[in-house]
Structure 1
């Protein structure tokens, strides 16, 4: 258990620093809202029509699929570097991993998550 004490101290310290960084501006910064400050601002022009326009759901799904395959690349690179040392078991594991990702890719394609417009 003592091997993980450093990890615990680091975790507590990082959470404390994050909370301090978030709380200091709330305590120090002036907060004087006015009607002018609360109006919507778009490149110096008054907004025309509705200010809050929702995004299509497909943009979010497109980003999620991109991130999943980006992470796949991160896992494939070290595996490829040590492939000869690990043997056939590692090859089978990576094959299963790639099959799972291909099934996810097929599902995203079928649902239309890769269609931009």
Structure 2
């Protein structure tokens, strides 16, 4: 079968397979999962903390710094390791090197900001 719609047919088949797999997983869960309606199971459970008191509470802003550092290092790993594995390819050229230099520069700015705020110290 050839023609301009073959590519769309593949997308439709893959989407249909995904929907069918999702439906089969939900059906199997419904059939096989144990059902027990105890009061403990019906209570709200949020992030490992039992719901006590009012709905509003203060959160620690200092965890935002650790989330920032995680994003810096995770993005670093996600983009640098694949780029380093294909670095031997001669077709990458100077443009790829410049792009990666800009990327590393942005990461260094993020790390400098983290260091300036004291997030890289081992002791509080």
Give the TM-score of the pair, scaled to structure 1: 0.56
What number of residue pairs does the alignment pair up? 105
Correspondent of 2:113 among 91, 103, 107: 107
Distance 1:23 1:114 in 2: 48
Deviation digits for residues 5-53 of structure 1, max 9, x if unmatched? 42453244234423432443135423222246568xxxxxxxxxxx618
Correspondent of 2:49 among 48, 52, 68: 52
> Once superposed, what is the RMSD of the aligned Cα atoms?
3.6
Structure 1 stretches (4+) deviating beyond 6 angstroms?
53-56
Unaligned runs of 5+ in 1: 40-50
Summarize the alignment of residues 1-117 of structure 1 with structure 2, pairs less than 5 Å apart. 2-3=6-7, 5-35=9-39, 52=49, 57=63, 58-82=65-89, 84-111=90-117, 114=120
Q: Answer 1 or 2: which has greater helix percent.
A: 1
Query: RCO (CA 8 Å, sep 6+): is it higher in 1 or 2?
Result: 1
Deviation digits for residues 66-95 of structure 1, max 9, x if unmatched? 31121133332234121x333222222222
Distance 1:104 1:111 in 2: 11
Distance 1:115 1:8 in 2: 52
